[in-house]
Amino acid sequence: MGPPPYDGCMTAADQPQVAPYDALLLLSFGGPEKPEDVVPFLENVTRGRGIPRERLEEVGQHYFGFGGRSPINDQNRALLAAIREDLAAAGIDLPVYWGNRNWDPYLADAVSEMRADGIERAAVFTTSAYSSYSSCRQYRENLADVGAEVDGAPRLERLRQYYNHPGFVEPFVDETVRALGSLPETARDDAHLLFVTHSIPLAMNDGSGARGGAYVAQHLDVMAEVVEQVAARIGRTPQHELVYCSRSGAPHIPWLEPDVNDRLEEMAAEGVTSVVMVPIGFVSDHMEVVYDLDTEAMATAEGLGMAAARAGTPGTDPRFVALVRDLLLERAAAERGEVPVRTTVGSLGPGPDLCAVGCCPNPRAPRPAACGVDS
Ligand SMILES: CC1=C(CCC(=O)O)c2cc3nc(cc4[nH]c(cc5[nH]c(cc1n2)c(C)c5CCC(=O)O)c(CCC(=O)O)c4C)C(CCC(=O)O)=C3C
Ligand SMILES: [Fe+2]
């Protein structure tokens, strides 16, 4: 997993090699920071996507309930600071920028700033771990758009998907063990684990990855790995399953199910009395987590008389921050023609540096996307 932390005795020759890159760009979703931002933010997210008016009003209320401020931008500020510290501690002198798809600071502004600073070729880390149109190709389309929009934009090379990197998986293991331990003693031993991710349309899952179905397959692989590591720690294998949150879209279009709330009701009827929710679909505790899980699903569990706890997301866990450095150094080595170690856990192996032709297709109409074998 990358070089050892900088111990103060490193010589220039020992410094990890980031060439050919001269910058790193953190690319994220973005979120509103005050009540006036909420509606224009939602318009940015849903433009041309056929999300019913009622759903938008409902989601707007989630944001207003938190003072019109999503936690996501502050979480990215913290991640940005942690990445800068981690790189510096490893003796890597590389500027790190941040831009979003849907809200200020926008990707185009970050890339304009990079161009003004003379950046020529940057690696791009997205806050999205899995393969699907929303979590992969849509970011690649954003990179293609900004390349066309910003004259003289640097080359932007998206780092591979990292759902099965130990720096993403291990924080969930620790947090699952911690959350189990936070349940009342009588509820601990038969608590079920509910692994939770963002629902997407069935058709989007069917198209995800190079051969289809990758979104669900990747989550099942992460779930199996977390369960195995948790079992090794607690000496038993808890019951576990994958469920979904944050369904959107028109009601007649099928999305991945079961919804976490529906499943909690069924489980209560089946006699389950305690659960731990493990939000493996998410990198930080943003609105989907603090509203859809901590507010809505927790209220559902409480209403059913179940004991419930939630595991935290990677956020700024030092292992997750070091993952960014590991992927950067891995890709830099590959671009120099070396054959780097590509660290993964689970059964699926590392994803490609460049996405396959036609993977994770745009559900509406094909658009140019960067960072594919055909771009
Ligand atoms: C797979 C996936 C992830 C996980 C991977 C990743 O992290 O990238 C994710 C993350 C996020 N989704 C977010 C917010 C929203 N997503 C929406 C809508 C949608 N998401 C979708 C998928 C995903 N979304 C889809 C298929 C739609 C339907 C419309 C469309 O086809 O695009 C809507 C519109 C209202 C609604 O319909 O809910 C909002 C406001 C925020 C910000 C949270 C904050 O502010 O803290 C984050 C991190
Ligand atoms: Fe979303």
226-260 pLDDT tens trace: 999 999 999 999 999 999 999 998 889 999 999 99
Q: Whose CA is nearest to atom 9 of ligand 1?
A: 198
**Residue 374 pLDDT > 80, yes or no?**
yes
Q: Which of 6-10, 139-143, 197-201 has the lowest mean pLDDT?
A: 6-10
Percentage of the chain modeled with pLDDT above 90: 92
Residue 288 annotated as binding site? yes
Ligand 1 pocket, residues with Cβ under 6 angstroms: 29, 31, 42, 45-46, 49, 51, 55, 59, 70-72, 127-128, 132, 134-135, 198, 200, 246, 248-249, 281, 286-288
Crossing angle between the packed helical segments 318-335 and 72-89, to the nearest 10 degrees: 60
> Radius of gyration (Cα) for the chain, nearest Å?
21
Q: Please tell me the predicted confidence (pLDDT) of residue 91.
A: 95
User: Does 198 show up as a binding residue in the annotation?
Assistant: yes
Instruction: Please identify, by atom number, the ligand 1 atom nearest to the C-alpha of residue 197.
Output: 4
DSSP 96-122: EEEEESSSSSBHHHHHHHHHHTT--EE
pLDDT digits 0-9 by tens, 71-113: 999 999 999 999 999 999 999 999 999 999 999 999 999 999 9
Residue 14 has pLDDT above 90, yes or no: no
- List, for residues 162-180, the tens digit of each pLDDT value: 999 999 999 999 999 999 9
Average pLDDT of the segment spanning 4-8: 49
Residues contacting residue 270 through CB under 8 Å, at least 6 positions apart: none
> Which of the four pLDDT bands, split at 50, 70 and 90, describes residue 4?
low
Residue 7 has pLDDT above 70, yes or no: no
Question: Among 130, 196, 198, which residue has the most ligand 1 atoms within 8 Å of its CB, making it the best to mutate?
Answer: 198
According to the annotation, is 70 in a ligand binding site? Answer: yes
Of the pLDDT bands very low, low, confident and very high (cuts 50, 70, 90), residue 10 is very low
CB 213 within 8 A of CB 131: no
Tell me: the pLDDT tens digits for 301-359? 999 999 999 999 999 999 999 999 999 999 999 999 999 999 999 999 999 999 999 99
Indicate the pTM of the whole model.
0.95
Going from the C-alpha of 152 to that of each of 115, 119, 122, 372, the distances in angstroms are: 7, 10, 13, 20
pLDDT-derived band of residue 33, with 50, 70 and 90 as boundaries? very high
pLDDT in tens, 260-291: 999 999 999 999 999 999 999 999 999 999 99
Q: How far is the CA of 47 from the centre of ligand 1 (A)?
A: 13
Whether the predicted pLDDT of 55 surpasses 70:
yes
Q: Which ligand neighbours the alpha carbon of 70 most closely?
A: 1
Q: Which domains does the chain have, with CATH numbers?
A: 12-162+316-335 (3.40.50.1400), 166-310 (3.40.50.1400)
Index of the ligand 1 atom closest to the CA of residue 127: 7
pLDDT-derived band at 15, boundaries 50, 70, 90? low
User: Of 86, 152, 85, 95, whose CA–CA distance to 122 is shortest?
Assistant: 95
